[in-house]
Amino acid sequence: MLADDFRLNEFSPDVRVDTAKASLKEELLSEHAHAQNMYSVIQRHHGYKEKLGHAYGDRCAYCGVPIGCIGYQSFQIDYIVCKNGNADDRADVPTGIDSIENLAFACVNCNGKKHDFTLTELSLPLLSPDMDLGTTFVRNDDFSIEISHEYAGCKPVRAFYDRMHYGSELRRIDYLIASLFDLDQYVNSNDELGELASKISDLLRLALGSLIPRRNKSSIALIA
Ligand SMILES: [Zn+2]
């Protein structure tokens, strides 16, 4: 069974991004009361970027690939509404472009692909990782991603799909890797499995140890 959110699988941990980001905001404000720019506070001070990652379940806000699969150095802070967009688009973020509400945790692949993609008042709810992104697209049984039926004719959604290369083979491989990784975490946290847990875990780690280096070296990782 695939999850309702295309970025997750049935073994992904439950995460409430909104409440996690709200408590991170509280912490940031208590320690940096006069800071105007939360992006630079998170970037400059040790530990905050990790906490932003925790808010997203230690995985990419746009594709769901876990830190544990591709490494923390492969993650960046993303502006949900592009910093260099026009004034109207920036006005769609009432808390400010540099506020925590407008920041997400993204893998370099997604952040690089998204780059200066413009989110408008219309497309923001559909494409924001903190809003409906997870259901604007769907995950098929073969792990490929497609646009949900409801938005098949929506031009900004199609443009985002193409920009993010959601149809690429890398997205399928990353989902397989994320599923094996999350299953390993799940198996290890389930006491009822007893000795079986370590046997399953050994196999999963063998598979991941073989898949991840191939994924990272593969030409599809470079072009996808
Ligand atoms: Zn990603």
Residue by residue, pLDDT tens for the chain (224 residues) are 456 999 999 999 888 999 999 999 999 999 998 888 999 999 999 899 999 999 999 999 999 999 999 999 999 999 999 888 777 777 778 888 999 999 999 999 999 999 999 998 899 999 999 999 999 999 999 999 999 999 999 999 999 999 999 999 999 999 999 999 999 999 999 888 888 999 999 999 999 999 999 888 875 555 44
Residue 110 alpha carbon to ligand 1 centre in Å: 4
Residue 64 alpha carbon to ligand 1 centre in Å: 6
Residue 191 alpha carbon to ligand 1 centre in Å: 31
CA atoms within a 13 Å half-sphere pointing along the CA-CB vector of 8: 16
Check residue 221 and give its pLDDT: 57
Check residue 218 and give its pLDDT: 72
Cα angle 110-114-119, degrees, rounded to a multiple of 5: 135
In eight-state DSSP terms, residue 2 is B
Check residue 160 and give its pLDDT: 98
Residue 207 alpha carbon to ligand 1 centre in Å: 21
C-alpha 224/C-alpha 204 separation (Å) is 25
Residue 96 alpha carbon to ligand 1 centre in Å: 24
Q: In this structure, what are the phi and psi dihedrals at residue 87, rounded to the nearest 5 degrees?
A: -60, -35
Residue 77 alpha carbon to ligand 1 centre in Å: 11
Check residue 1 and give its pLDDT: 44
C-alpha 60/C-alpha 157 separation (Å) is 19
Residue 67 alpha carbon to ligand 1 centre in Å: 10
C-alpha 60/C-alpha 53 separation (Å) is 8
Q: What one-character-per-residue DSSP string does 38-50 give?
A: HHHHHHHSTTHHH
Residue 203 alpha carbon to ligand 1 centre in Å: 25
Residue 27 alpha carbon to ligand 1 centre in Å: 26
Residue 113 alpha carbon to ligand 1 centre in Å: 9
Residue 59 alpha carbon to ligand 1 centre in Å: 8
Check residue 111 and give its pLDDT: 96
Check residue 190 and give its pLDDT: 86
Residue 192 alpha carbon to ligand 1 centre in Å: 33
Check residue 34 and give its pLDDT: 84
Listed by start position, the domains of the chain span 1-224
C-alpha 97/C-alpha 103 separation (Å) is 8
Check residue 16 and give its pLDDT: 92
Residue 50 alpha carbon to ligand 1 centre in Å: 16
Residue 63 alpha carbon to ligand 1 centre in Å: 4
